[in-house]
Amino acid sequence: MSGKPRLTYFNGRGRMEPVRWLLAAAGVEFEENFLETKEQYEKLIKDGVLLFQQVPLVEIDGMKMVQTRAILSYIAGKYNLYGKDLKERALIDMYVEGITDLMQMILMYPFSPPEAKEKNIESLKERATTRYFPVFEKVLKQHGQDFLVGNKLSWADVQLIEAILAVEEKIPTVLSGFPQLQAFKVRISNVPAIKKFLQPGSQRKPPPDEHYVETVLKTFKK
Protein backbone atom coordinates (compact mmCIF):
# COMPACT_ATOMS: atom_id res chain seq x y z
CA MET A 1 0.00 0.00 0.00
CA SER A 2 1.56 3.30 -0.97
CA GLY A 3 1.92 5.57 2.01
CA LYS A 4 0.91 9.16 2.40
CA PRO A 5 3.18 11.74 0.81
CA ARG A 6 6.07 12.51 3.15
CA LEU A 7 7.43 16.04 3.29
CA THR A 8 11.00 16.76 4.45
CA TYR A 9 11.69 20.37 5.35
CA PHE A 10 12.16 22.77 8.22
CA ASN A 11 9.33 23.17 10.70
CA GLY A 12 8.24 26.37 9.05
CA ARG A 13 6.80 27.79 5.84
CA GLY A 14 9.67 28.49 3.49
CA ARG A 15 9.49 26.82 0.12
CA MET A 16 7.40 23.91 1.37
CA GLU A 17 4.34 25.89 2.37
CA PRO A 18 2.76 26.01 -1.11
CA VAL A 19 3.08 22.21 -1.19
CA ARG A 20 1.27 21.89 2.14
CA TRP A 21 -1.45 24.21 0.87
CA LEU A 22 -1.94 22.29 -2.38
CA LEU A 23 -2.04 18.86 -0.76
CA ALA A 24 -4.47 20.19 1.84
CA ALA A 25 -6.68 21.78 -0.83
CA ALA A 26 -6.70 18.46 -2.68
CA GLY A 27 -7.79 16.74 0.54
CA VAL A 28 -4.60 14.67 0.67
CA GLU A 29 -3.22 13.71 4.08
CA PHE A 30 0.53 13.95 4.40
CA GLU A 31 3.34 13.27 6.87
CA GLU A 32 6.15 15.61 7.76
CA ASN A 33 9.79 14.97 8.61
CA PHE A 34 11.28 18.14 10.13
CA LEU A 35 14.86 19.21 9.55
CA GLU A 36 16.23 20.50 12.82
CA THR A 37 19.99 20.14 12.60
CA LYS A 38 22.85 20.46 10.15
CA GLU A 39 23.70 16.81 10.80
CA GLN A 40 20.27 15.69 9.65
CA TYR A 41 20.67 17.64 6.42
CA GLU A 42 24.14 16.25 5.85
CA LYS A 43 22.82 12.74 6.37
CA LEU A 44 20.15 13.31 3.73
CA ILE A 45 22.84 14.39 1.29
CA LYS A 46 25.08 11.47 2.22
CA ASP A 47 22.19 9.03 1.77
CA GLY A 48 21.72 10.40 -1.74
CA VAL A 49 18.05 11.24 -1.36
CA LEU A 50 18.26 14.86 -2.45
CA LEU A 51 18.67 15.01 -6.21
CA PHE A 52 20.33 18.44 -6.20
CA GLN A 53 21.27 18.40 -2.49
CA GLN A 54 18.34 20.64 -1.69
CA VAL A 55 15.05 20.55 0.13
CA PRO A 56 12.03 20.60 -0.24
CA LEU A 57 11.84 16.84 -0.64
CA VAL A 58 8.50 15.11 -1.11
CA GLU A 59 8.31 11.35 -1.21
CA ILE A 60 5.24 10.58 -3.27
CA ASP A 61 4.15 7.67 -5.44
CA GLY A 62 7.54 5.98 -5.21
CA MET A 63 9.45 9.11 -6.24
CA LYS A 64 11.74 11.27 -4.13
CA MET A 65 10.64 14.56 -5.67
CA VAL A 66 12.59 17.77 -5.34
CA GLN A 67 12.23 21.25 -6.86
CA THR A 68 9.13 22.98 -5.57
CA ARG A 69 7.63 23.72 -8.97
CA ALA A 70 8.01 20.13 -10.15
CA ILE A 71 6.37 18.87 -6.95
CA LEU A 72 3.48 21.32 -7.21
CA SER A 73 2.91 20.54 -10.92
CA TYR A 74 2.76 16.84 -10.15
CA ILE A 75 0.26 17.28 -7.32
CA ALA A 76 -1.86 19.66 -9.42
CA GLY A 77 -1.84 17.20 -12.34
CA LYS A 78 -2.62 14.21 -10.18
CA TYR A 79 -5.51 15.79 -8.27
CA ASN A 80 -7.19 17.59 -11.17
CA LEU A 81 -6.18 21.09 -10.14
CA TYR A 82 -4.44 21.84 -13.44
CA GLY A 83 -7.25 22.74 -15.80
CA LYS A 84 -8.90 20.62 -18.46
CA ASP A 85 -6.58 21.23 -21.41
CA LEU A 86 -3.32 22.77 -22.53
CA LYS A 87 -4.64 26.31 -22.75
CA GLU A 88 -6.13 26.24 -19.24
CA ARG A 89 -2.84 24.81 -18.04
CA ALA A 90 -1.03 27.70 -19.73
CA LEU A 91 -3.18 30.24 -17.88
CA ILE A 92 -2.71 28.45 -14.58
CA ASP A 93 1.05 28.31 -15.15
CA MET A 94 1.22 32.02 -15.96
CA TYR A 95 -0.78 32.98 -12.90
CA VAL A 96 1.18 30.68 -10.61
CA GLU A 97 4.52 31.98 -11.90
CA GLY A 98 3.45 35.57 -11.26
CA ILE A 99 2.28 34.75 -7.75
CA THR A 100 5.50 32.85 -7.11
CA ASP A 101 7.50 35.96 -8.04
CA LEU A 102 5.48 37.93 -5.48
CA MET A 103 5.89 35.22 -2.84
CA GLN A 104 9.65 35.24 -3.41
CA MET A 105 9.75 38.68 -1.79
CA ILE A 106 8.01 37.28 1.28
CA LEU A 107 10.26 34.23 1.31
CA MET A 108 13.40 36.34 1.40
CA TYR A 109 12.09 38.91 3.87
CA PRO A 110 13.02 37.16 7.15
CA PHE A 111 16.58 36.82 5.91
CA SER A 112 17.01 40.47 4.98
CA PRO A 113 19.05 42.71 7.29
CA PRO A 114 17.06 44.78 9.84
CA GLU A 115 17.87 48.07 8.12
CA ALA A 116 16.40 46.81 4.83
CA LYS A 117 13.19 45.44 6.28
CA GLU A 118 11.07 48.58 6.09
CA LYS A 119 12.07 49.22 2.50
CA ASN A 120 11.27 45.61 1.64
CA ILE A 121 7.76 45.98 3.00
CA GLU A 122 7.31 49.07 0.83
CA SER A 123 8.50 47.14 -2.24
CA LEU A 124 6.20 44.28 -1.37
CA LYS A 125 3.24 46.64 -1.06
CA GLU A 126 4.10 48.32 -4.36
CA ARG A 127 4.48 45.07 -6.26
CA ALA A 128 1.40 43.49 -4.76
CA THR A 129 -0.86 46.47 -5.40
CA THR A 130 0.45 47.63 -8.77
CA ARG A 131 1.78 44.56 -10.54
CA TYR A 132 0.09 41.41 -9.24
CA PHE A 133 -3.23 41.98 -7.47
CA PRO A 134 -4.60 44.20 -10.28
CA VAL A 135 -4.10 41.32 -12.73
CA PHE A 136 -6.14 38.86 -10.71
CA GLU A 137 -8.76 41.49 -9.84
CA LYS A 138 -9.21 42.05 -13.56
CA VAL A 139 -9.34 38.34 -14.40
CA LEU A 140 -12.11 37.76 -11.86
CA LYS A 141 -14.00 40.88 -12.96
CA GLN A 142 -13.84 39.93 -16.62
CA HIS A 143 -15.34 36.45 -16.38
CA GLY A 144 -17.33 36.95 -13.19
CA GLN A 145 -16.67 33.37 -12.15
CA ASP A 146 -15.72 32.06 -8.74
CA PHE A 147 -12.33 30.71 -9.76
CA LEU A 148 -9.45 32.09 -11.79
CA VAL A 149 -9.46 29.48 -14.58
CA GLY A 150 -12.08 27.28 -16.17
CA ASN A 151 -14.81 27.89 -13.59
CA LYS A 152 -13.25 25.29 -11.33
CA LEU A 153 -10.85 25.29 -8.39
CA SER A 154 -7.24 25.01 -9.59
CA TRP A 155 -3.68 25.34 -8.34
CA ALA A 156 -3.83 29.02 -9.32
CA ASP A 157 -6.64 29.75 -6.83
CA VAL A 158 -4.82 27.96 -4.01
CA GLN A 159 -1.57 29.76 -4.75
CA LEU A 160 -3.38 33.11 -4.91
CA ILE A 161 -5.13 32.78 -1.58
CA GLU A 162 -1.90 31.70 0.07
CA ALA A 163 -0.23 34.82 -1.32
CA ILE A 164 -3.07 37.12 -0.30
CA LEU A 165 -2.97 35.89 3.28
CA ALA A 166 0.83 36.09 3.43
CA VAL A 167 0.88 39.67 2.15
CA GLU A 168 -1.96 40.65 4.51
CA GLU A 169 0.13 39.45 7.44
CA LYS A 170 2.63 42.17 6.55
CA ILE A 171 0.22 44.77 5.15
CA PRO A 172 -3.24 44.25 6.67
CA THR A 173 -5.02 46.74 4.39
CA VAL A 174 -3.46 45.52 1.16
CA LEU A 175 -6.75 44.31 -0.35
CA SER A 176 -8.52 47.60 0.22
CA GLY A 177 -8.55 48.53 -3.48
CA PHE A 178 -9.56 45.05 -4.64
CA PRO A 179 -13.19 44.11 -4.04
CA GLN A 180 -13.10 41.04 -6.31
CA LEU A 181 -10.08 39.70 -4.42
CA GLN A 182 -11.78 40.34 -1.10
CA ALA A 183 -14.74 38.24 -2.21
CA PHE A 184 -12.38 35.63 -3.71
CA LYS A 185 -10.53 35.37 -0.42
CA VAL A 186 -13.71 34.64 1.48
CA ARG A 187 -14.99 32.20 -1.11
CA ILE A 188 -11.82 30.16 -1.35
CA SER A 189 -11.33 30.21 2.43
CA ASN A 190 -14.69 28.50 2.66
CA VAL A 191 -13.85 25.62 0.33
CA PRO A 192 -14.11 22.80 2.92
CA ALA A 193 -10.61 21.38 2.50
CA ILE A 194 -9.12 24.86 2.66
CA LYS A 195 -11.30 25.93 5.57
CA LYS A 196 -9.97 22.94 7.47
CA PHE A 197 -6.38 23.88 6.63
CA LEU A 198 -6.98 27.41 7.91
CA GLN A 199 -8.06 26.18 11.31
CA PRO A 200 -5.72 25.84 14.31
CA GLY A 201 -4.22 22.40 14.60
CA SER A 202 -3.73 21.94 10.85
CA GLN A 203 -0.32 21.45 9.27
CA ARG A 204 -0.25 25.04 8.11
CA LYS A 205 2.83 26.70 9.53
CA PRO A 206 2.99 30.05 11.33
CA PRO A 207 4.88 33.04 9.91
CA PRO A 208 8.66 32.63 10.21
CA ASP A 209 10.17 33.76 13.49
CA GLU A 210 13.76 34.17 14.71
CA HIS A 211 14.06 30.53 15.67
CA TYR A 212 13.09 29.49 12.15
CA VAL A 213 15.61 31.85 10.56
CA GLU A 214 18.35 30.64 12.91
CA THR A 215 17.63 26.98 12.14
CA VAL A 216 17.77 27.56 8.39
CA LEU A 217 20.98 29.57 8.54
CA LYS A 218 22.65 27.05 10.85
CA THR A 219 21.69 24.14 8.61
CA PHE A 220 23.05 25.65 5.42
CA LYS A 221 26.13 27.25 6.95
CA LYS A 222 29.29 25.96 5.31
Partner 1 sequence: MAAKPKLHYVNGRGKMESIRWLLAAAGVEFEEQFIEKKEDLEKLRSDGDLLFQQVPMVEIDGMKMVQTRAILAYIAAKYNLYGKDLKERAWIDMYVEGTTDLMGLIMQLIFQTADTREKHLALIIERATTRYFPVYEKVLKSHGQDYLVGNKLSWADVHLLEAILMVEECKADALSAFPLLQAFKGRISNIPTIKKFLQPGSQRKPPPDDKFFASARKIFSF
Nearer to partner 1, 142 or 199 (CB): 142
CB 93 within 8 A of CB 44: no
Nearer to partner 1, 139 or 194 (CB): 139
Nearer to partner 1, 76 or 194 (CB): 76
Shortest Å distance, C-beta 196 to partner 1: 26
Q: Site residues (CB under 8 A) for partner 1?
A: 51-53, 61, 63, 65-67, 69-70, 73-74, 77-78, 86-87, 89-90, 93-94, 96-98, 101, 131-132, 135
Report d(CA 44, CA 63) in Å as an integer.
Answer: 15
Nearer to partner 1, 97 or 169 (CB): 97
Shortest Å distance, C-beta 69 to partner 1: 6
Q: What is the pairing mode between strands 57-60 and 6-10?
A: antiparallel
Q: Measuring CA to CA, which residue among 39, 26, 1 is closest to residue 192? A: 26
Amino acid at 105: M
Report d(CA 92, CA 81) in Å as an integer.
Answer: 9
Shortest Å distance, C-beta 4 to partner 1: 18
Question: Element (H or E) spanning 10, and its range?
Answer: strand 6-10
Shortest Å distance, C-beta 190 to partner 1: 28
